[in-house]
Amino acid sequence: DAKTTQPPSMDCAEGRAANLPCNHSTISGNEYVYWYRQIHSQGPQYIIHGLKNNETNEMASLIITEDRKSSTLILPHATLRDTAVYYCIVRVATQGGSEKLVFGKGTKLTVNP
């Protein structure tokens, strides 16, 4: 099973870019990298996903290394409201084609004023 490794916590100054790393060294060629975040006790929120190319949307950018063994989520101008736990997930395909979406423990990002 492909799994991810993330630092347990990070700090970032308000207004600066937050760069959250994720290692997924056993990722398979057809597996996507997904990022979610969870603010306080709310349900997790989808941020972005990608396969090989870098991706950008209104929330963040996703940089995937050429060998696809790691990725970085970038919040370009972090605000206090971005304080959350960020989860990096790789699709885990099971036999028969059904999918177990497995979450790890994530990175607790604290944005400081």
Residues contributing to the site for other proteins (CB under 8 A): 32, 34, 36, 41-46, 49, 87, 91, 94, 98-106
Q: How far is the CB of 74 from other proteins (least distance, A)?
A: 18
Structure tokens at 44: 């997790």
Q: What is the DSSP letter of 44?
A: P
Rg (CA), the chain: 14
Select 18 or 37, whichever has its Cβ closest to other proteins: 37
CB closer to other proteins out of 58 and 113: 58
- Comparing CB distances to other proteins, the nearer of 13 and 39 is 39
Quickly count: other Cβ atoms within 10 Å of residue 106's Cβ: 24
Q: Minimum Å distance from CB 54 to other proteins?
A: 18
**Which residue in 76, 81, 63 sits closest to 21, CA to CA?**
63
